[in-house]
Copies of this chain bind each other. A is one copy, B any other.
Amino acid sequence: MEYSDKKTQLLIASDQYLNRLGIKTLLSVVGVESDLKETNNLEELIDLLKNGKDPDYLILSDRILSYPQKKCLENLRKQCPTCKLMVIGGETMCRCDCEKFISYSCDQKEMLEQFQNFFLEPKSLAINVESSILSEREIEVLKAIALGLANKEIADRLYISIHTVISHRKNITSKLGIKSISGLTVYALLNSLIHADEVK
């Protein structure tokens, strides 16, 4: 039921230009012809999805997703319920609600196969994933922990008592199941709560 005079609509969202360029080259290798749009940030992506018509395919890097990634993806899904979604991510990217997940570490052969499959396979049903459970305040505290602040410093920064900080910490560790500061730091990094160069 396709109109042969209507090209496939494809949208690429990745923060890195070299990545987008690689993806585009790969698309031409695979033989996908499309009306192609691209963006390097989440805001513009959301704008494009809101104001334009739904693309047929959306290829995005996990690095442009905001925290929490799962929630962010869910919201994107709502913006384009009919499109096929491919997420390219690092080893630690949570497997999420998308038709195709590809790791950045895939070699040429695998990457080619995955891309070919993506455009051949029928659209799958969305998988429901539960989203993040941290409250706003807990996220603030988590950020501060990951930045290397001590409880007292966090208390001063957020204008609360150190007891409250400790309470939040307890809730964070029990909710996430991550007990060590390093673990929390990595979590915060992976979820773009902080940037590596902010840490003291």
Contacts and interface: CB of A to CB of B under 8 A. Distances in A.
A47 interface: no
A119 interface: no
Interface residues of A, number: 44
Given A182-B148, A196-B92, A17 B190 contact: no
Contacts of A22: 17-22, 25
A108 interface: yes
Given A18-B19, A111-B17, A180 B200 contact: yes
Nearest to A61: B18
28 contacts: A15-B105, A16-B105, A17-B22, A17-B107, A18-B19, A18-B104, A19-B22, A21-B22, A21-B25, A22-B22, A25-B25, A40-B107, A91-B196, A92-B197, A146-B182, A147-B182, A148-B179, A148-B183, A149-B180, A179-B200, A180-B200, A181-B182, A181-B185, A182-B184, A182-B199, A183-B200, A185-B186, A186-B196
Interface of A: 15-26, 40, 88, 90-92, 104-108, 111, 145-149, 178-186, 189-190, 195-197, 199-200
